[in-house]
Amino acid sequence: MKILTTTLIMVMIINLVFLLTTMISKKTKTSREKNSPFECGFSPLSSSRKPFSIQFFLMATIFLIFDIEISIILPMASTKMLSMEEWLISSTITIIILLMGLIMEWKTNMLEWSK
């Protein structure tokens, strides 16, 4: 019986607090604009599906690959596992492989912004 009365009192207190907050709150009118999600300055009234440029995606991927390559090569110089000659050889091979891929993309016209 004690658990039932305690539960009933808790439910009453929760409902009372809920009613008080709805009465005290400043938000009185709801509108479609205020209830719609707002993200990054885009209007929610327009279409959410926009065409995506594949060329932009390719350029971003190339940037990401070279960015990751730099973040891999630079810490290798500070480790004591490699000598300076080994670091120079491994970083040169890595850069040559990446540049060969970039040249291949350039030759196949993958880097064209407009077609």
6-31: pLDDT as tens digits: 999 999 999 999 999 888 876 656 66
Average pLDDT over residues 80-99: 80
Going from N- to C-terminal start, the domains of the chain cover: 54-107
The reported pLDDT for the residue numbered 55 is: 73
The reported pLDDT for the residue numbered 34 is: 63
Percent of the chain with pLDDT over 90: 15
The reported pLDDT for the residue numbered 42 is: 58
> What's the half-sphere exposure (Cβ side, CA atoms, 13 Å) at 78?
4
Percent of the chain with pLDDT over 70: 66
Per-residue pLDDT tens over the stretch 26-49 = 665 666 666 666 656 555 555 666
Average pLDDT over residues 47-74: 76
DSSP for 49-108? -----HHHHHHHHHHHHHHHHHHHHHHHHH-SSS-HHHHHHHHHHHHHHHHHHHHHHHHT
pTM of the model: 0.43
The reported pLDDT for the residue numbered 60 is: 83
